[in-house]
Amino acid sequence: MNPFLEPLRSLEAQDRLRAVTALEGLPGKYVLREGRRCLNLSSNDYLGLSGHPKVRQAGADAALALGAGAGGSRLLGGGLALHRELESEVERIRPLGKALLFNTGFMANHGVIQALAPVLGPIFSDKLNHASVAEALRSVPGPFHRYRHRDLAHLESLLQSHLGTGGARSGNLPGLVCSETLFSMDGDFAPLKELLALQARYGFYLYLDEAHSTGCYPRFVADALSAGMGEGPAEGRILIMGTFGKAYGGFGAYVAGAPSLIDYLVNTARSFIFSTALPPAVLGSALQAIRTAEEEGWRREKLAAVAAFTRDLFRGRGFDIGASESHIVPVIAGSNRAAVRLSAAMYHAGYHVPPVRHPTVPEGTARLRINLTCEMETAEITALADELSSALDESANEAGDG
């Protein structure tokens, strides 16, 4: 008896069955999928740096000079000077004291939360945080609590219940609050200034996952931190996780925070300790990507302009894009089946945009997540809106109830 067939049949019946799609050639603004040329609306390469000549050359040069791999974990012979150079670059753009590289954002979130839970106590997590945070929470020995998405009144009620009015100042463990800065499925921003105001009252540690805002909105986080930090509870109690695998076009992740905190993670974060270190090509391309993003600021400006145009156009057409306020623009279809059909219709029209379904998003909010990049033009977005309108109308007619 094959134990896998029944679970697969169940997923298929729920329109949740996934399959790996092979794209041909270098992923970029356009991709070839089964021989069809499609505008790529699923890419995380928000600043178009993955194929940038300087970024590609820097990765190739590092591989030629230092080899294909690091040769081991950072603590057992795999640490290269290039690792520290990249960490120093992160410390420059996220000046919280010290930085540490991880192999992926998932591994960073998992390793950090597991390591901090025993010494910080209760964890409070936005309900729409990434699956890597949810997975880490399931494995921590202590209590955790989810607060309603961006609902700081709910968060404060949980803090009062589980930390006490004085928080860390009352002698309790300080607690850890986790939030994305830009939420990956809805495209909305966290209320950072309000979170920092809460931190000033309760003294918790704040862990910010800026995977989808890294490189795209540098002032959003920096301005909030500069306003909220200084002498007081926030000092030394903020950690930021960012990635090189999205706007910087490569691979890998980092965590930045106070020196003692990073030193603690070096000794306790198992996903760091027991993993082979990032290879030279990844390090070289990440270093160049950070510098290129700063040198070519037009990329961020163009991304913001295209995103604003898209949101206005889509809302004007009556599309349900939720609370999006960024370059991530969901088109909410409803059921899993509706999202699957809409994705298939868009593929036949020349667009690569896989469906995002429950349980990745709440039931009844399955969607096409439109990921915009700085390489897209407003004429292409207008054509996209036309195709979406036609596909949504056809889907409504098939459903028979609008």
What digits encode the pLDDT tens for the residues 286-317? 999 999 999 999 999 999 999 999 999 999 99
180 is catalytic: yes
Catalytic residue, candidates 87, 180, 188, 210: 180
Catalytic residue, candidates 52, 98, 110, 130: 130
What digits encode the pLDDT tens for the residues 76-131? 999 999 999 999 999 999 999 999 999 999 999 999 999 999 999 999 999 999 99
**Burial group, residue 325, by CB count within 10 angstroms (0-12, 13-18, 19+):** middle
Confidence of residue 163 (pLDDT cuts 50, 70, 90): confident
Closest CA to 48 of 376, 378, 379, 377: 376
Confidence of residue 220 (pLDDT cuts 50, 70, 90): confident
Distance CA(96)–CA(260), nearest Å, equals: 11
| DSSP state letter for 172 | S
Share of the chain above pLDDT 90, in %: 83
Instruction: For residue 137, give the amino acid letter.
Output: L
pTM of the model: 0.93
Confidence of residue 322 (pLDDT cuts 50, 70, 90): very high
Give residue limits of the domains in the chain: 10-40+297-399, 53-294
What does the pLDDT read at residue 218?
86
**Burial group, residue 176, by CB count within 10 angstroms (0-12, 13-18, 19+):** buried
Distance CA(86)–CA(282), nearest Å, equals: 10
According to CATH, what is the number of the domain 53-294? 3.40.640.10
Name the helix (H) or strand (E) containing 320: none
Confidence of residue 401 (pLDDT cuts 50, 70, 90): very low
What does the pLDDT read at residue 226?
78
Alpha-carbon dihedral 159, 163, 168, 169, rounded to 10 degrees: 100
212 is catalytic: yes
Catalytic residue, candidates 42, 184, 324, 371: 184
For the chain, give the mean pLDDT.
92
What digits encode the pLDDT tens for the residues 49-76? 999 999 999 999 999 999 999 999 999 9
Catalytic residue, candidates 246, 302, 327, 352: 246
**Residues 220-239: b if buried by 16+ CB within 10 A, e if exposed:** bbeebbeebbeeebbeebbb
Distance CA(393)–CA(368), nearest Å, equals: 15
Average pLDDT over residues 33-60: 95
CATH 3.90.1150.10 is the classification of domain 10-40+297-399: yes
332, pLDDT greater than 80? yes
| Euclidean distance between the first and the last CA atom of the chain, given in angstroms as a whole number | 43
What does the pLDDT read at residue 402?
40
Catalytic residue, candidates 44, 109, 129, 395: 44
147, pLDDT greater than 50? yes
